[in-house]
Structure 1
Amino acid sequence: MSFSFVDLFSGIGGFHAALGALDGECWFASEIDLQAKAVYERNWHTEVAGDIVALTEDQMAVPPHDVLAAGFPCQPFSKSGFQRGMDETRGTLFWNICRILDERKPPVILLENVRNLAGPRHKETWRTIVRSLRDLGYRVSGTPTVFSPHLLPPSLGGRPQVRERVFITGTYVGRARAWAEATDEPLVPNRPVAGWDPQGWDVEQDLPLDADAVIEGVHRYELTAAETSWIATWEDLLVELKPHLAGGKLPGFPIWADEFKSVPEIDASTPSWKADFLRKNSDFYRQHQEAIDEWKIRHNDLEELPPSRRKLEWQAQDAATLWDTVMHFRPSGIRAKKATYLPALVAITQTSIIGHRRRRITPREAARLQGLPNWFDFGAQPDAASYKQLGNGVNVGAAYYILREHVMRDKDDIAALAPGLVEAVLASDPNPDGALEARPFAMAPQGGSRRAIREPMGSADVLSG
């Protein structure tokens, strides 16, 4: 016996990979982005519906299912505080999720969102989400579960990527129990699992990186002459200063070439954080003024460095050179860190640069970083689209771990509604990688011939406890 799931705001299928590795069957997927839809259908052999709004407001196109998975967009909610439940979420895409939950009442929900959802600026949004889900009968925690794949060891499907995301998991128990059994404990703590030390990651070996010789069109990912020159300019300063630096490494604050001044330019309107930043750069300049001035002269007063490359943030600890680090070209400057785990993939062009390879990671390596199997295929679409889709996606290993932990914790309640889900989790390997690599999942097409595993629940099915 297996279980069914629906995949909303599905992107290219990170949730599909995680739930498919548990032997789940996808009965519905929706995604509004046409390029992402094409990649999803190409790999998961599941027809993808479009805008979820049209599919849930005037009609309910989403079929019965056991698990609802969604990486939903975070939109502003009403802050009035006077309304409750779905009425307060109306006008947001979260309301469409609530509509499905209200009508279909799947036993388990698995939602994912950006880290900021758990931040102080979104407290009211978070309260609205929790209140809405409890009103719909789902036992959810009042404290966000924040987790990242770099906290998982390779044996549990972890990946060398810092990607903190908020996960919301819930079990359908009926409104009375959902409120009576409300808890503020997160599902899992935001810390390494099973004694794993995240500093033990090695991008070269653990991702792993592909040999340059086997990458088709590898020149597309190599640094340009201008990019190489920018790095070489900062590397020259590092070599010059290294004998005079404490521990042989640059300071932890960003150093800013434009603010290498004997006296920092601070006035009454300068924010305190910036004033502190300017003072530190001024102190750094005065300590190494002779070497810095000579460096600027050697490089034509840094005229070839564009504004966004005139800052360097060193997070590489005791790395010997910039070429031994992983670098990120950010709008705020160049960031360098040790080649352990990578910064989070983002949906814009800030792809990690492997210093000693003098190239960016490829879309294939970025897909591997998200936990997608090696057979996953982007077709002929531009690399920019693939990077964007991966940056918007959910990490497979993290989603797999979170769902397994939730089902194991709530297995008694879940077994009453979706026994196949509990059986699948109990029989599963803690690491999804083997199941994913073994075979592509040929799921039933949307509206296909397979019968739904569980019929819709009526109001009499509420577990009042």
Structure 2
Amino acid sequence: MSSTATFTFADLFAGVGGFHAALHAAGGTWAFASEIDRAAAAVYDHNWLRPLREAAAELPAGVDRFAVSGDIVELTDPSVAVPHADVLAGGFPCQPFSKSGFQRGMDETRGTLFWNIARILAEPAVRPSVVLLENVRNLAGPRHRDTTFRTIVRTLRELGYRTADAPAVFSPHLLPRELGGRPQVRERVFILAHHVGTDVSMDPSTRDDPIVSTRGLAFDWSKERWDLAADLPLQLDAEVPDKYSLESAELKMIQTWDSLLTEVAASLEPGERLPGFPIWYDAFKPVADAEDEIEAAALMGDPIPRWKQDFLRKNAAFYERHRGVIDRFAPILDSFPPSRRKFEWQAGEHRPLGDTIMHFRPSGIRAKRPDYVPALVAITQTSILGERRRLTPREAARLQGLPDWFEFSQSSPDTGVSVPQTDAASYKQMGNGVNVGAAYYVFREYVNRHRHEIPAHIVAAVDASPTNPDVRLARPVTR
């Protein structure tokens, strides 16, 4: 198959370009991007569009300029000002859908950003052949599955798009490294659809199963096989600037909890593990005192919620059992900020905290297994490698599948010189981003499954693409 086969793609809610990376690796050519956050748009432009401007003799048909457009709301209401592309991708924010009257179709999505996507799909002149959307796992959860998600599915079908009744739920840590996987637990909902016309899309016989799910994967891979240091890979500590090292106060908190948990673990019965519920210094009291607190609140007409009653009772029982150990650490724990007096163990069998991945969260310190990391989030909650340091922005970018030539910089409009941005902005962008390998995998699987209904040039481009997106992303994008 010719390596020059290609398709065009539009990148909505583009962030710094996770979908761009995935679709470029799949053989796509950029046609449009929209991103309201100026810092993210500048990084997108620096990495993806600046090389195209420098290399292009002329712009693609229908493209006025190589630039990131702004607010998608202004670009779709009252009229659509988005050019046609073969594939439309977007990690749209999940805003609450209006429930007033449960009107059908697009009217029900009004007031949400999915409505703006639907406006594009409804315009025959710009309508894409394939749609690739991503959202948080909760979109397929019990609160939203029968309302928000069902509305999206119905709207897509009413616009002539064939799509599954259930979403594709996927995480990069379920994908082997040779297929673009990464050691990051990042379950996300992917909604894929392709235009077939309403006669087919509304036919119940065309209802599909999700293209992929967290169960029943078509390859032999176990998440326990990840080696974070080798598979990410981690940067060598000697090469990491001191600013990513832990502060002395943070080290003291980790070392205190490590000593306490080590002594507690030594007193456990064979086969018994550290508690899975959060243990909280402020709730360490005798069981009788905890019961008195619960009873007093009820008598005052302000009963403690049932979940918190259970939490208080478990911590009281934990305290009574290990009181001899806990009381010795009490003076130190008492000096910690409230959010550091709570600890949550999610690392399996006991091990030193230096051999775990930790997060300093607003709700407390959490320890995880060391082979893969929790999902990156859009706040300063960077994963901590044992008692050493935080993950760097480069390592965060690797976790999202971005290549090492990707720069957290923007080009100066006056000089063209690269200007690095703050680490806080980079971490936020990675927490908001789509994982390249996961998006790449579900897109290629979808096109292959529906190749008889998808335009031949899109299928040809996907057929010509490597199984691992890293192969095509090894070098910066050029035309």
TM-score (norm 1): 0.90
> Which has the higher mean CA deviation after the structures are superposed, 264-273 or 325-334?
264-273
2:221 alignment partner, one of 171, 174, 196: 196
Task: Tell me how far apart the structure 2 counterparts of residues 85 and 317 of structure 1 sit (CA, whole Å).
Answer: 46
1:259 alignment partner, one of 244, 264, 283: 283
Task: Tell me how far apart the structure 2 counterparts of residues 129 and 396 of structure 1 sit (CA, whole Å).
Answer: 23
Is the aligned partner of 1:433 residue 2:433? no
Distance change (3 Å), C-alpha of 1:365 and 1:82:
closer
Measured against aligned partners, the alpha-carbon deviations of 1:255-309 in whole angstroms (never above 9, x if no partner) come to 1111111122323412222222211111111111112112225x3xx23211001
**1:195 deviation in Å?**
1.9
Task: Tell me how far apart the structure 1 counterparts of residues 260 and 407 of structure 2 sit (CA, whole Å).
Answer: 42
Q: Which residue of 1 aligns with 2:371?
A: 340
Is the aligned partner of 1:237 residue 2:284? no
Q: Which residue of 2 aligns with 1:121?
A: 143
Measured against aligned partners, the alpha-carbon deviations of 1:77-130 in whole angstroms (never above 9, x if no partner) come to 221344221122122221111111111221100000111111122231112111
Q: Which residue of 1 aligns with 2:117?
A: 97
Is the aligned partner of 1:37 residue 2:41? yes
Distance change (3 Å), C-alpha of 1:230 and 1:193:
farther
Corresponding residue SS for 2:117? helix
Residues 312 and 333 in structure 1, CA contact (< 8 A), matched pair in contact too: yes
**1:232 deviation in Å?**
1.0
What is the identity, as a one-letter code, of the residue corresponding to 1:205?
A
2:478 alignment partner, one of 431, 435, 442: 442
Q: Which residue of 2 aligns with 1:274?
A: 308
Measured against aligned partners, the alpha-carbon deviations of 1:34-88 in whole angstroms (never above 9, x if no partner) come to 0001000000014101111221224432111110001111112221344221122
> Which has the higher mean CA deviation after the structures are superposed, 11-20 or 119-128?
119-128
> Which has the higher mean CA deviation after the structures are superposed, 287-296 or 323-332?
287-296
**1:159 deviation in Å?**
0.4
Q: Which residue of 1 aligns with 2:433?
A: 393
Task: Tell me how far apart the structure 1 counterparts of residues 119 and 432 of structure 2 sit (CA, whole Å).
Answer: 24
1:289 alignment partner, one of 323, 341, 366: 323
Task: Tell me how far apart the structure 1 counterparts of residues 150 and 262 of structure 2 sit (CA, whole Å).
Answer: 51
Residues 319 and 338 in structure 1, CA contact (< 8 A), matched pair in contact too: no
Distance change (3 Å), C-alpha of 1:319 and 1:292:
closer
Is the aligned partner of 1:80 residue 2:105? no
Is the aligned partner of 1:323 residue 2:354? yes
Q: Which residue of 2 aligns with 1:6?
A: 10
What is the identity, as a one-letter code, of the residue corresponding to 1:67?
V
Q: Which residue of 2 aligns with 1:462?
A: none
Structure 2 matches for 1:170-185, cutoff 5 A?
170-180=193-203, 181-183=205-207, 185=209
Q: Which residue of 2 aligns with 1:371?
A: 401
Is the aligned partner of 1:311 residue 2:342? yes
Task: Tell me how far apart the structure 2 counterparts of residues 203 and 245 of structure 1 sit (CA, whole Å).
Answer: 29
**1:193 deviation in Å?**
5.0
Residues 27 and 464 in structure 2, CA contact (< 8 A), matched pair in contact too: no
Residues 347 and 390 in structure 1, CA contact (< 8 A), matched pair in contact too: yes
Corresponding residue SS for 2:371? coil
Q: Which residue of 2 aligns with 1:448?
A: none
Task: Tell me how far apart the structure 1 counterparts of residues 100 and 398 of structure 2 sit (CA, whole Å).
Answer: 43
Residues 156 and 401 in structure 1, CA contact (< 8 A), matched pair in contact too: yes
Which consecutive residues of structure 1, in runs of 5 or more, have no partner in the other structure?
Answer: 444-465
What is the identity, as a one-letter code, of the residue corresponding to 2:349?
D
Task: Tell me how far apart the structure 1 counterparts of residues 94 and 366 of structure 2 sit (CA, whole Å).
Answer: 28
**1:244 deviation in Å?**
0.4
What is the identity, as a one-letter code, of the residue corresponding to 1:165?
R
> Which has the higher mean CA deviation after the structures are superposed, 4-13 or 258-267?
258-267
Residues 68 and 110 in structure 1, CA contact (< 8 A), matched pair in contact too: yes
Task: Tell me how far apart the structure 2 counterparts of residues 319 and 404 of structure 1 sit (CA, whole Å).
Answer: 40
Residues 152 and 193 in structure 1, CA contact (< 8 A), matched pair in contact too: no
Is the aligned partner of 1:413 residue 2:453? yes
Q: Percent identity?
A: 62
What is the identity, as a one-letter code, of the residue corresponding to 2:377?
V
Residues 136 and 175 in structure 1, CA contact (< 8 A), matched pair in contact too: yes
**1:395 deviation in Å?**
0.2
Residues 274 and 350 in structure 2, CA contact (< 8 A), matched pair in contact too: no
Corresponding residue SS for 1:266? helix
Residues 357 and 383 in structure 2, CA contact (< 8 A), matched pair in contact too: yes
Corresponding residue SS for 2:132? strand
Task: Tell me how far apart the structure 1 counterparts of residues 161 and 242 of structure 2 sit (CA, whole Å).
Answer: 51
Equivalent residue pairs, number:
433
Task: Tell me how far apart the structure 2 counterparts of residues 90 and 18 of structure 1 sit (CA, whole Å).
Answer: 29
Corresponding residue SS for 2:108? helix
Task: Tell me how far apart the structure 1 counterparts of residues 213 and 137 of structure 2 sit (CA, whole Å).
Answer: 14
Q: Which residue of 2 aligns with 1:206?
A: 231
What is the identity, as a one-letter code, of the residue corresponding to 2:229?
E
**1:425 deviation in Å?**
1.3
Residues 90 and 134 in structure 2, CA contact (< 8 A), matched pair in contact too: yes
Corresponding residue SS for 1:199? helix
Task: Tell me how far apart the structure 1 counterparts of residues 148 and 351 of structure 2 sit (CA, whole Å).
Answer: 45
What is the identity, as a one-letter code, of the residue corresponding to 1:283?
A
Structure 2 matches for 1:129-140, cutoff 5 A?
129-140=152-163
Q: Aligned Cα RMSD in Å?
A: 1.5
Task: Tell me how far apart the structure 1 counterparts of residues 98 and 323 of structure 2 sit (CA, whole Å).
Answer: 54
**1:320 deviation in Å?**
2.2
**1:249 deviation in Å?**
4.4
1:51 alignment partner, one of 71, 96, 112: 71
Measured against aligned partners, the alpha-carbon deviations of 1:301-351 in whole angstroms (never above 9, x if no partner) come to x23211001111111122421111000011111100110110000000111
Residues 169 and 213 in structure 2, CA contact (< 8 A), matched pair in contact too: yes
Which consecutive residues of structure 2, in runs of 5 or more, have no partner in the other structure?
Answer: 50-65, 410-419
**1:248 deviation in Å?**
7.2
Residues 6 and 67 in structure 1, CA contact (< 8 A), matched pair in contact too: yes
Q: Which residue of 2 aligns with 1:450?
A: none
